[in-house]
Amino acid sequence: MKKSTQQEIWMWVRTILWAVAIVLLLERFVFVPTVVQGVSMMPTLQDGNRLIVSKLGEIKRFDEIVFRAPDAPKNYVKRVIGLPGDTIVLKEDQLYINGVLTPEPYLDNSKKKLAVGDYLNDDFTLEMLTGELRVPKGHLFVMGDNRPRSHDSREFGFIKTSSVIGQVEVRIWPLNKIGSTK
């Protein structure tokens, strides 16, 4: 082989190695792609949606997050309802956080489909579900948007903040729904 051909091959190999290294670093520290599995976040997210999840930034109330499931060897996508120190009460589909009625506009369409007197959720207090008055330090209380069909903190309890992979930033599939989910 000629020297110039060897140099060109080496240049391509270096370029590919750098590209792989950059992608691995970005995935490790900045973002990760993920796929929604199941119906617990409908209608906001559907089974099979592909998402980009950011590992940067502070988790806020009502963020959609991806975390390692506490009760299964997989990841879940849910919405953050309670932050450390919060009290939570749900009564007649009205969410009270720290005693303040807190709107959940992402549930409006689902609530419109209910018959008069029907509710998406059973009433609960944090203490009824977990034995705790407040969300403990280092933990979150999460629920899916499809409340009747979501396996979430109402069943498995609090999740550790250390189990959070990141916040959902953008849906990248299907193409007709590409963009922010907020």
Catalytic sites, residue numbers: 40, 78
The pair of three-digit structure tokens given for residue 47, joined into one six-digit string: 């089974």
d(CA 138, CA 108): 30
Looking only at the bridges linking them, the beta strands covering 100-102 and 94-97 are antiparallel
Closest CA to 68 of 166, 163, 175, 177: 163
